Structure 1
Amino acid sequence: MRWNRFKLPALCAAAALTASLPVGSAAADPVVLPQAQDIVGVGAQTTQPVLNQFSADYNASLGSDTTSPRMYSWDATGSSPIVTKSAATTIVRPDGAGAGIKALVSNTGSTVDFVRSDRGPTAADPHGLDFVALAKDSVTWSAARNGNAPAQLTPAQLNGIYTCIINNWQQIDPSLPNATIKPYLPQVDSGTRAFFLSAIGVAAPNAACVVSGPEENQGTDPVLSDPNVVFPYSVAHYLGQTVGGHGTATDAPGNLTLRNVVINGRVLTPVTNNLMDTNFANSQFGRVVYDVFRDAEWIGTDAHATAIQNVFGPSGWICNDPTAAADLAGYGFLATPACGTATLT
């Protein structure tokens, strides 16, 4: 893979400083059918709320300009199939980064322009895709409030839980309840799932005890209220739901609370003073989240490629506009100095 590096504007760093700034409410699926020239995305649930907010704020910034392409983002879940824009091919709604990338590869810009991805590129990804850095996130484990889980676990203990070597809380600490641990993972196309398993060194979870299926970052799923549950969770998404006030009846942590990770004897806390903790974000549990494009359209010189760069590029709206910086922070993310740079598969 190669990096395309650009000079980055200072404003991209402002997002880390504006978490307390209010941002407006964003719609879910587009409230109007996007036009053929518009920039339309699908994919991960983790960055879905902030991309919805970007859509509302970027489109509003165009004001009376009725000719420039708008930007829209379709949610990961909802009715399916969907028609993403005028005259587009009907597709099954992509749920997760993996499903979004499959849709990007299987269709053209007349249907899908970009994918929200909460994981980075892998060797298994098709060639010719650009993973464009958006922001910094981190992933920790969560457990039910007032349940049997401890406040902290090590990566080795999490590895043991998801490989079914550790299946009772007393294997971690004899003072904990004698109860069977119930490890859950998001559905298989989830980027949060893929990243978390990599962070704890699990190539493949053991189906003998691990249950897959809940939507990522959705603690409202009834199965996750069990006192013995363990479930990975995006720290930024959790902050957006709680501190940012963007939670809804279905997009909320429910009874889950974020837990600490002990690395080399040091307790790392995911959240400090209602912000993502930078030490945690710089650990093995920190990640960059991306938007993914076909390389031909990312590096192109036609009007559509120019419109894409105007939104997502290093000199574009997301990496430069103060409203975009406030949006990112209001949804819990940290700025990345790589904002707008691309990794080509």
Structure 2
Amino acid sequence: MRKTAAKLLAVAAIATSVATVASGTALADPTVTPAAQDIVSVGSDTTQAVSNQFSTDYNAYLTSIGDTTSPRYYSWDATGSATITPKSGATSIPRPNGSGAGISALNATGSQVDVARSSRGPKPNPGGDPTTDVFVAFAKDAVSWSAPSGGYAPANLTTAQLKAIYECTTTDWHTLVPAVPAGTTIKPYLPQANSGTRSFFLSAIGNPALGGCVVTGPQENEGTDPVFTNAASVFPYSVAHYIGQVFNGHSSGSDAAGTLTIRSVDGVSPLTAANTLSPAFAATAYGRVVYNVVRQAEWTATDAHGTALRNIFGPASTNGWICKNGTNDIKSYGFLPLPGAACGSTIQNNS
């Protein structure tokens, strides 16, 4: 009976998704040991793939203009070996997995780490991010929810329904989808605690008091985890990362959507008809800006290091490479470019 209900729901659930995942070129950890003067980033899973592409393209650009002395840019993945040695002369550190871990590493390792990739904005003090950090904006993303194709979940849930699911006050799919047999327990999952996608999603649905039914653990933006063979699963997902994986060929190994398909919230689809990030969805509470975080003293420094940071991450008006030349990369990995001076704009956590 459950299998029959699941099949009946499949067509509606697929309204926001499915395409065959194209196999993309894997861009992973640096293939060389970055030099001591090079710029190294760690942190967010959501922006690691596009950051890896920025690294490849920016370094190629320097080579193409005959620049052999400027610092190169390298990006370390959120997952892989347990430890990394970020650059030449550095000590081994635990691999930072997620925005929070990246920001912590930025502020704990000195010159070993230069940039933290962050899929969330600054957390205010007390108890938030250091006031010495600067968040440099580079693109727009959004976070929605996902569920297995052919499973029990509908194509759309409201914000109130999502909050109730994660508070475990709504625990039976039958109460939301009458075609599903009663007693079909909802299985809500969240990424690990340092995930910027996790913290942003929970904020967007109203900061629920997480109930005992919620399971923490799967790597964010990866639908290949075995837990998602459960047809009753629910999991937050970066819309841009999903688009990059499913529609634009940037999928490799476990960095893939698997059977998960991305769904609508409050009747608004996260995808356009062309399978790009919907500006309408990005304009809701589920839209977010993504950042590269640097130390303020280095961002404003007039030495070679500060100049390199601004040359890579600064606004197009001052020839920041990402904002001036990275638009195609940003779109290819599913993000929306920020308009005008918004790319390269900064927020300092002074609160």
Superposition TM-score, scaled by structure 2 size? 0.88
Segment of structure 1 superposing worse, 242-251 or 134-143: 242-251
Q: Say if 2:236 is the partner of 1:232.
A: yes
Per the alignment, residue 18 of structure 2 pairs with none
Q: What is residue 181 of structure 1 aligned with on the other side?
A: 186
Where do 5+ consecutive residues of structure 1 fail to align? 1-23
In 1: Cα distance, 2:101 partner to 2:229 partner:
27
Residue identity matched to 2:187: K
CA distance in 2, matches of 1:94, 1:258: 26
Q: Deviations over 1:97-119 (max 9, x none)?
A: 0111111111112x000011011
Q: Which consecutive residues of structure 2, in runs of 5 or more, have no partner in the other structure?
A: 1-23
Matches within 5 A, 1:232-271: 232-262=236-266, 267-271=267-271
Secondary structure (helix, strand or coil) at the match of 2:71 reads coil
Distance 2:130 2:48 in 1: 23
TM-superposition CA deviations, 1:238-262 (whole Å, max 9, x none): 0000111010121100000001111
Give the whole-Å Cα distance in 2 for the aligned partners of 1:168 and 1:291.
40
Q: Tell me if the contact between 1:26 and 1:52 (Cα under 8 Å) persists in the aligned partners.
A: no
Offset of 1:27 from its aligned partner? 2.6
Moved segments of 4+, more than 4 Å: none
Letter in 2 for 1:190: S
Q: Which has the higher helix share?
A: 2
2:152 equivalent in structure 1: 148
Distance 1:313 1:173 in 2: 48
Partners in 2 of 1:55 and 1:158 — Cα distance? 37
Report if aligned partners of 2:143, 2:239 keep a CA contact under 8 Å in 1. Answer: yes
Preserved CA contact (<8 Å) 2:167 2:210: yes
Alignment correspondent of 1:53: 53
Aligned residue in 2 for 1:94: 96
1:217 correspondence with 2:218: no
SS at match of 1:143: strand
The within-5 A match list for 1:122-137 is 122-123=123-124, 124-137=128-141
* Match of residue 157 from structure 1: 161
Alignment length (residue pairs):
314
Deviations 1:1-24 (A, max 9, x none): xxxxxxxxxxxxxxxxxxxxxxx9
| Contact 2:30–2:75 (CA under 8 A) maintained in structure 1 | yes
Alignment partner of 1:249: what SS?
coil
Partner Cα distance (2:153, 2:196) in 1: 25
Closer, same or farther: CA 66–116 of 1 in aligned 2, 3 Å:
same
Give the Cα separation in 1 of the matches to 2:35 and 2:92: 14
Asked whether the 8 Å contact 2:166–2:208 carries over to 1, the reply is: no
Shift of 1:203: 4.6
Q: Could you tell me how far 1:174 is from its partner in structure 2? A: 2.7
How far apart in 1 are the matches of 2:222 and 2:177?
28
Question: Aligned partners of 2:343, 2:91: CA distance in 1, in Å?
Answer: 31
1:65 and 1:26 map into 2 onto residues whose CA distance is 26
Match of 2:324 in 1: 320
- Aligned-pair distance for 1:204? 4.1
1:304 paired residue number? 305
Alpha-carbon RMSD across the aligned residues, in angstroms, is 1.1
**Matched residues in 2 for 1:342 and 1:26: separation?**
30
Q: Distance in 2 between matches of 1:99 and 1:197?
A: 18
| Cross-structure match for 2:43 | 43
Q: How does 1:72-111 map to 2 (within 5 A)?
A: 72-109=74-111, 111=112
Output aligned runs, 1:7-26, within 5 Å: 25=25
Q: 2:26, 2:252 within 8 Å by CA — same for their partners in 1?
A: no
Q: Given residue 86 of structure 2, which amino acid in structure 1 is its aligned partner?
A: T
**Structure with higher RCO (Cα < 8 A, 6+ apart):** 1
Conservation of the 8 A alpha-carbon contact between 1:44 and 1:100: yes
For residues 112-140 of structure 1, the C-alpha deviation after alignment (integer angstroms, 9 at most, x for no partner) is: 00011011111111211001101000000
User: How many percent identity over aligned positions?
Assistant: 57
| Corresponding position of 1:11 | none
- Are 2:44 and 2:78, in contact at CA under 8 Å, matched by a contact in 1? yes
Q: CA shift at 1:328, angstroms?
A: 0.5
Q: Aligned to 1:276, what secondary structure does the other structure show?
A: coil
Q: Quote the Cα distance in structure 1 between the aligned partners of 2:181 and 2:116.
A: 43
What do residues 82-109 of structure 1 show as CA deviations (whole Å, max 9, x unaligned)? 1100001221000000111111111112
- Write the deviation string for residues 181-224 of structure 1: whole angstroms up to 9, x where unpaired: 00000011000000000000125422x10000100000000102
Task: Tell me if the contact between 2:106 and 2:116 (Cα under 8 Å) persists in the aligned partners.
Answer: yes
Give the SS at the match of 2:293.
Answer: strand
Alignment check: 8 A CA contact 2:39 2:74 kept:
yes
Structure 1 match to 2:13: none
**Deviation of the 1:302 alpha carbon:** 1.2
The aligned amino acid for 2:49 is P
SS at match of 1:66: coil
Q: State the shift of 1:320 in Å.
A: 0.5
Measure, in 2, the Cα distance between the counterparts of 1:56 and 1:28. 11
Match of 2:115 in 1: 114
Letter in 2 for 1:200: I
How many Å separate the matches in 1 of 2:153 and 2:141? 24
